[in-house]
Structure 1
Amino acid sequence: MEHILMVLMLIGGFGVFSQWLAWRTRMPAIVVMSIVGLIAGPVLGIMNPQEDLGELFRPLISIAVGIILFEGSLNLDYREIRGMRKPVFRIVTIGAMLAWILGSLAAHYIAGLSWAVSFVIGGILIVTGPTVILPLLRQAKLKPRAAAVLKWEGIIVDPFGALIAVFSFEFIQFLTTESVEFSAVLMFLLASLVAAIIGGLFGYMIGWSFERGAVPEFLKSPVVLVTVIMAFVIPDMIMHETGLLAVTVMGIVIANMHIASINDMRHFKENISVLLISAIFIMLTASLDRETLLSIFDPNILLFIAMMLFVIRPATIFLSTIGTNLEFREKLLVGWIAPRGIVALTVSAYFASILLDAGYEDASILTSLTFGLVFFTVVAHGFSIGWLSRKLGLSMDDKPGVIFVGSNKFSTSFAKTLQNLDIPVIVTDASSSRLTHAKQAGVPHEHEEILSEQMEYQLDMTPYDFMLSVTEYDSYNTLVSSTFKPEYGKEKLYQLPLQSDAGDTLNDVSHHISGTVLFSDDITWTTLNEKINRGFIFKKKLITKEYSYNDFLDDCDAEDVLLVMLRQSGMLDFYSPEKQTLIGEPGDLVISLAKPDVN
């Protein structure tokens, strides 16, 4: 008992450490997790989760994969792919079929596997999946069109890869084994249909009950979690691997019911999925033995991996998207990015044992072949997606962007100043009259309520790392901060300090539901806009060795307001009471709201 607890502690610790290390080093998280797992497992021998956890190993991974797949499918709202449905549909149908056939041919003729094993592994390896695609999309900050294609393909095809592998095995058994009848194949098809129906019904029941208030707020997340596990386990008991299809359908149904509490569910599931992804990668890589790692470098396996990366993947994308509106550069990116992940590893390990028991001795290399493809694609695509997307013009600007919530003289002038420094900015407001300030200043703007569900589809927030709530209403600023806190984090979510004379009585509002205070506690909305009316201007001062930060502070007037520091690295540091020790270094640019006659 104590040994199992120790292993679980190590898995969680190594997983979270990998995520933190990836954040600190700006390396792809899945690359770091794979390396940490390999070091902890086959290299140093600290643990072997498959042996240590015994019969618990596969059920834990299976349920975790189901939860991750559901969390990913919660993001599949059809409104996201307006104008892109044709290429997405082609890729997840024709593209997946081509990938299966071509991958199977490569497995047979290059890796030297039998036809039976080749068609099983060919089905497994069509998957990419949310565990690998979603972290890469967040890292690369892709533009919406390319990101939508990769995300939808990864989540939709994920369960179908496992189903194709099951179908291949059942069909091969029917062709080669006299004891297996055609009814077994029909049973598989029926079980897949039943799984989809179960997932759809569970999803509709959740949406219906939440919309009618049948479930209290504090129970919504637990109810969803338990229902996801039920939707996965029940079909999986009928036919192995159909649970993945059920949870995917369940997530898509909920996402397209547009229920009010969908964001709460997303945030809860995102937190869980980050922990589960970390744990699963550590568990799988730490469970590999040294012989499996060494066999990856077999020339046939390396040639098969190269064929999958450089020939089969690009061919399936270009062939399946003929006649669609997908641009050539988008085809190049999508044709290269296809990292394999957890589902491929778990399903291949399952079928390796099943095929070996059925007498297919060449199935012994399935784990090595699959892990080789997973590792090489994760590393190659993890390190190249950012560079390639920038070269093709399909990524957002590297500079951190800023969303200003609330259009007024101060916010639009501040946004214009940042825009002139090539920093992505946008001003949002629900009032068209207030947006006049932004229109006259020539600042990008969006006439939409930032808190509305529709805003998610009207505005792509990927380029904007910071959100500043700068309306005249303290209560609204606080509401915006509390709404977007799970997405941005308090360190990148700012709001103006409370105005004691504004009528709002929010002095007792907990700091846990508000953003970081901008500038200082006494610089309110009224103060800033009055300074603009008095002729204060936005000044930019570059800190050099000759003109130090202390020299700049000495030149400032008592009424000047220090706003933000643009670091030499390109990062933004907004002034706030919580950053009293903010110090400028040579190469940093300080922006302030200053009197025009002050040098």
Structure 2
Amino acid sequence: MAARVDLAQLADISVNSTVLLLCMIFVARPIGVYLSTMSSSLRWQEKALISWIAPRGIVAAAVSALFSIKLEQNGMDEASILASLVFFVIIFTVVLQSLTAKPIAKMLGEREPAPLGFLIFGGNHFARLLAKELMQTGLQVKIADTNWEAISAARMEGIPTYFGNPSSEHAQRTMDLTGIGNLLVLSPHKQMNSLVTQYYQFLFGEEHVAGLGATDKKEFEGHLPTEKYMKSLGLFNNVSYSKLASMSSQGASLKKTSITAEFSWEDYKKKYENRYTPLFMFDEKNHVKLVTKETTYSEDKIKGIVSLIKPETPVSE
């Protein structure tokens, strides 16, 4: 189509084309969107955003050149204007919408917030406790697991879930990750952990994927996972899955504590000494920061901490 555009011809029709373009943007398109969504549950803000940024001109671009040729063959000499007109509309709307989509969406309140939520792979007891604690901070959280009993327990506790492998093709099609941009791997399934981790390192970015630490048991070099996967391990100060399971069996529980002038960070460490495993901290804006083996933080900015606290007297198994 671009090859058939006559720039001189385009300049000649620029005024009329601009009027037509404005009518399309502010009259024809909103009416079309309104009529086609009358029976939908869309709010007016959503309809307005669709009217502004939804694709237009795709079909016209595909057939305009053909139409102009056929019309010229039928004696309509000015039909060549059609290709230039469609080209003008497409170029103008693409540029205009690209520059204004973000502020328009923000103005209408339809811009999706930053994906700060967590997808947790593993639905064990500890994972469910952590999910509920994160949900209380206002974050989006979802648990994924291939174990139906774990998924059923999570649903009973009001936690959004996905039953299956979160890196599967089915998950790509059906799992809603709105508001979620981080992955925590808390599953005991080593082989699947590696696959899920590497998939979400590509999807979310390496810095947004973390898993529990590896065990101290030495393995044959040929059985070791990739270096990229190993770098993602170290969640909760490099605690292993077996250590978490052991602590849970001894009656450990999650506890959220506010750090104040009356109860400082030093008071916290003195009170719980070696009985606590820090999970995440939050600042005055309630922003969550997970604790990993590489976590650095300024103690004066910590306003609260959530830890797994072992009881003073361990519960006998």
TM-score (norm. length: structure 2): 0.72
Aligned: 1:455 with 2:171: yes
1:372 Cα deviation from its structure 2 partner: 5.0
1:504 Cα deviation from its structure 2 partner: 9.1
Give ranges in structure 2 of 5+ residues lacking alignment: 4-12, 66-77
Of residues 236, 261, 265, the one that matches 1:519 is: 236
Looking at structure 2, the residues matched to 504 and 467 of structure 1 have their Cα atoms a distance apart, in angstroms, of: 28
1:516 Cα deviation from its structure 2 partner: 4.0
1:493 Cα deviation from its structure 2 partner: 0.8
1:398 Cα deviation from its structure 2 partner: 5.0
Secondary structure (helix, strand or coil) at the match of 1:499 reads coil
Aligned: 1:400 with 2:123: no
1:453 Cα deviation from its structure 2 partner: 1.5
Matching residue of 1:591: 306
Looking at structure 2, the residues matched to 455 and 469 of structure 1 have their Cα atoms a distance apart, in angstroms, of: 16
Q: Deviations over 1:103-137 (max 9, x none)?
A: xxxxx8x9424xxxxxxxxxxxxxxxxxxxxxxxx
1:466 Cα deviation from its structure 2 partner: 0.8
Percent sequence identity is 22
Size of the aligned set, in residue pairs, is 285
Of residues 360, 379, 398, the one that matches 2:99 is: 379
Matching residue of 2:247: 531
Counterparts of 1:111-510 in structure 2, within 5 Å, are 111-113=15-17, 301=18, 306-322=22-38, 325=40, 327-329=42-44, 330-338=46-54, 373-390=93-110, 398=114, 400-500=116-216, 508-510=224-226
Secondary structure (helix, strand or coil) at the match of 1:526 reads helix
Q: Deviations over 1:447-500 (max 9, x none)?
A: 222232112233112321111111113332122112222111111111111124
User: Do the aligned partners of 1:562 and 1:575 also contact (CA within 8 Å) in 2?
Assistant: yes
Cα distance change of structure 1 residues 378 and 554 upon mapping to structure 2, 3 Å threshold: farther
Matching residue of 2:290: 574
Looking at structure 2, the residues matched to 461 and 516 of structure 1 have their Cα atoms a distance apart, in angstroms, of: 22
**Which structure is higher in RCO with an 8 Å CA cutoff and minimum separation 6?**
1
Q: Deviations over 1:74-104 (max 9, x none)?
A: xxxxxxxxxxxxxxxxxxxxxxxxxxxxxxx
Looking at structure 1, the residues matched to 265 and 20 of structure 2 have their Cα atoms a distance apart, in angstroms, of: 58
| Root-mean-square deviation (Å) | 4.1
Looking at structure 2, the residues matched to 415 and 506 of structure 1 have their Cα atoms a distance apart, in angstroms, of: 35
Alignment-mate amino acid for residue 158 of structure 2: G
1:415 Cα deviation from its structure 2 partner: 0.7
Secondary structure (helix, strand or coil) at the match of 1:428 reads strand
Cα distance change of structure 1 residues 308 and 567 upon mapping to structure 2, 3 Å threshold: farther
Q: Deviations over 1:168-197 (max 9, x none)?
A: xxxxxxxxxxxxxxxxxxxxxxxxxxxxxx
Give ranges in structure 1 of 5+ residues lacking alignment: 1-57, 60-107, 114-300, 351-357
1:315 Cα deviation from its structure 2 partner: 1.4
> As a proportion of its length, which structure holds more strand?
2
Matching residue of 2:73: none
Alignment-mate amino acid for residue 420 of structure 1: Q
1:405 Cα deviation from its structure 2 partner: 0.7
User: Do the aligned partners of 1:519 and 1:561 also contact (CA within 8 Å) in 2?
Assistant: yes
Q: Deviations over 1:552-594 (max 9, x none)?
A: 4454422311111234455432111122x22355474322112
Looking at structure 1, the residues matched to 141 and 267 of structure 2 have their Cα atoms a distance apart, in angstroms, of: 30
User: Do the aligned partners of 2:257 and 2:305 also contact (CA within 8 Å) in 1?
Assistant: yes
1:412 Cα deviation from its structure 2 partner: 0.8
Alignment-mate amino acid for residue 517 of structure 1: G
Secondary structure (helix, strand or coil) at the match of 2:47 reads helix
Secondary structure (helix, strand or coil) at the match of 2:118 reads strand
User: Do the aligned partners of 2:282 and 2:305 also contact (CA within 8 Å) in 1?
Assistant: yes
Q: Deviations over 1:6-50 (max 9, x none)?
A: xxxxxxxxxxxxxxxxxxxxxxxxxxxxxxxxxxxxxxxxxxxxx
Looking at structure 2, the residues matched to 399 and 474 of structure 1 have their Cα atoms a distance apart, in angstroms, of: 27
Alignment-mate amino acid for residue 465 of structure 1: G
Pick the structure with greater CA Rg.
2
Looking at structure 2, the residues matched to 531 and 506 of structure 1 have their Cα atoms a distance apart, in angstroms, of: 31
Looking at structure 2, the residues matched to 506 and 440 of structure 1 have their Cα atoms a distance apart, in angstroms, of: 42
Alignment-mate amino acid for residue 190 of structure 2: D
TM-score (norm. length: structure 1): 0.41
Cα distance change of structure 1 residues 364 and 484 upon mapping to structure 2, 3 Å threshold: closer
Cα distance change of structure 1 residues 532 and 539 upon mapping to structure 2, 3 Å threshold: same
1:534 Cα deviation from its structure 2 partner: 1.9
User: Do the aligned partners of 1:404 and 1:426 also contact (CA within 8 Å) in 2?
Assistant: yes
Alignment-mate amino acid for residue 487 of structure 1: L
Looking at structure 2, the residues matched to 503 and 439 of structure 1 have their Cα atoms a distance apart, in angstroms, of: 37
1:520 Cα deviation from its structure 2 partner: 2.4
User: Do the aligned partners of 1:518 and 1:575 also contact (CA within 8 Å) in 2?
Assistant: yes
